[in-house]
Amino acid sequence: MTDIFALFDQIKSTSAAAAVPITHLVVGLGNPGEEYAQTRHNAGFLCLDTLAEKVGVKVTNLKFKALTADAVLGGKRVLLMKPQTFMNLSGEAVAAAAAFYKIPPQNVLVICDDVSFDVGHVRIRLQGSHGGHNGLKSIEGQLASQSYTRIKVGVGKKPHPDFNLADWVLGRFSAEDLKTLSEVRASVAEALLLLLEGKPDLAMSRYST
């Protein structure tokens, strides 16, 4: 049976958090358009959709060149974002939102694909270089900082070294990989909640491989 008092406390806590300014950005990276919906490069979009579903919001408001939603996570009021600028210009949307809400890079969390890892692997880093990822490169340039959190989701390595990287990341997941990714998406949502609660060590020890 649901604890009605716990439910009231949760509602009260959520209402209180919603009354404060947005302090964090949670950004899923990808490319807009149905033709890219199930591609490897859109792993960030897919993970953000799972997070939004868990907290009961829809990322559909067009703002800052991105689809957005306002949510309360880990006691923080956050803006969920899916930039609509295409991957290599993702930083424009992130920087515009960060400037508007006066959010420092340390409060920006980005979910992106990574071709260095097998499907199902997650790597959390609190700062660091873009590693050649065009979306992260754009964000780093626009924020003039490497001090933002990135959650890297493995989408599988190229089948052989000569395979064109653009063709690989813009290729679609297999049915088996999509099944694996569906489990990873839930883990990423849980890791983000811990990060927003100020528990990065726990998030990394539990979910980062």
Indicate which residues carry an active-site annotation: 41
Instruction: Please give the Cα distance from 125 to 202 (Å, whole number).
Output: 13
Residues ≥6 apart with Cβ < 8 Å to 33: none
- How many secondary structure helices (H) and strands (E) does the chain include? 7, 7
Burial of 136 (0-12, 13-18, 19+ CB in 10 A): buried
56: left (phi over 0), alpha (psi -120 to 50) or beta: left
Instruction: Please give the Cα distance from 172 to 162 (Å, whole number).
Output: 19
What would the two tokens of residue 100 be? 């508007």
